[in-house]
Amino acid sequence: MPVFKIKHITNYKYESPIRDSANQIILFPIKDDFQKVILHDLNISNSPDVEIFLDYYGNEVGVFTQTEPHTQLKIYSKIYVETVAKPLPQDDIFVKEQWDILENVKNEVAFIDFLKQSQFDSSGMLRNACIQMKSDEDTPYKVAIKFCSYVFSHFTYIKGVTTVDSTIDEIIGLKAGVCQDFAHLLTTMLRFVGIPARYVSGYICPNKDGMRGEGATHAWAEAYLPDYGWLGFDPTNNCIANEKHVRLAVGRDFSDCSPVKGVYKGGLSHVLEVNVSVGYGDDDDFETETYFQPKEVNYNKPSVTLPLKNSYQRYIDLVSEQQQQQQ
């Protein structure tokens, strides 16, 4: 069982002092049978109070504000995580029964968000391509593998050609993008054939194997497989997302899982620097810092009857339409 030591530094530098900064962070690793958080230390410049809650999808979310003028916001997260490999599902039995199960769950509250599709110009073309790739003998697991391989083979990994706001149409037109774009594309394809799919943010820890997505936060997709549960597929590297992938959050898309975002009052000009580094096993090259330990929260799944967003998040969405967003 590998142990990964991950440092994630987010640093905003402002040309002129800004104030009334309201921020949301999703930098708290998921805790379950396949991911054990040994240590999580967090340091934020000016040491604000951080309120932590669970969102609708069960992610741990922190919110904080800084009202005094400042020219820098630095968020320094250090985690030690032990991962356990998931056994893979069998892919060649009870094919019809598996698709029948997916048909029956499509109106269940737990899956509705992960089957809902937004409209885009290329949707008909992409839907037809998905249907043609899927054969009657394919289980949902085999279809997910096919679609993952399709994205990897037909789209080029190029940093900087897209932004966090790039649409599926733009990605298809460019035939290029980064992990976030490929995760969005794969979730869309899976939903077209009735497989619930969710976006996952986190880190890839390949132990210097040269996998794409190192040195930054990573993104991939998870598909819901009948009689199995959720399994991750990484189209950026054409692999199952398993013990080398550390999960931070799940949601419908990037907007539900953004590691850091917020709003502020002040000038538009700023510089964002993000750095992620990974240590392995007994590496001792992680320097000592001054941190606070995030408090424990209730990890019970929130009720599905809870509103999709709380009042703070709705406020952030409203204000972000009028002010500069930090993405």
Neighbours of 211 (CB within 10 A): 17
Summarised one tens digit per residue, pLDDT across range 99-137 is 999 999 999 999 999 999 888 999 999 999 999 999 999
For the segment 202-231, the average pLDDT, to the nearest whole number, is: 82
User: Which CATH number describes the domain made up of 3-83+256-326?
Assistant: 2.60.40.2250
Query: What is the third-level CATH fold of 95-242?
Result: C8orf32 fold (3.10.620)
For the segment 5-28, the average pLDDT, to the nearest whole number, is: 95
For the segment 267-281, the average pLDDT, to the nearest whole number, is: 87
pTM of the model: 0.84
Q: Please state the φ and ψ torsions of residue 98, each to the nearest 5 degrees.
A: -65, -45
What tokens does 80 get? 């030690």
Summarised one tens digit per residue, pLDDT across range 279-307 is 876 655 555 444 444 444 433 333 333 33
Q: Give the lowest-confidence range in 8-22, 234-248, 311-325.
A: 311-325
pLDDT over 50 (residue 242): yes
For the segment 188-206, the average pLDDT, to the nearest whole number, is: 95
Q: Where are the alpha helices (DSSP H) in 106-223?
A: 109-112, 123-133, 140-154, 168-174, 179-192
Beta carbons of 233 and 240 less than 8 angstroms apart:
yes
Res 210: pLDDT: 57
Which residues have a Cβ under 8 Å from the Cβ of 116 and sit 6 or more positions away? 191, 252
Domain positions in the chain are: 3-83+256-326, 95-242
Q: Measured between alpha carbons, how far is 105 from 110 in angstroms, rounded to an integer?
A: 9
* Residue where the block lists tokens 């993952």: 148
Give 292's DSSP letter: B
What tokens does 141 get? 């697991």
Q: Measured between alpha carbons, how far is 310 from 315 in angstroms, rounded to an integer?
A: 9
Summarised one tens digit per residue, pLDDT across range 48-100 is 999 999 999 999 999 999 999 999 999 999 999 999 999 999 767 899 999 99
For the segment 26-32, the average pLDDT, to the nearest whole number, is: 96
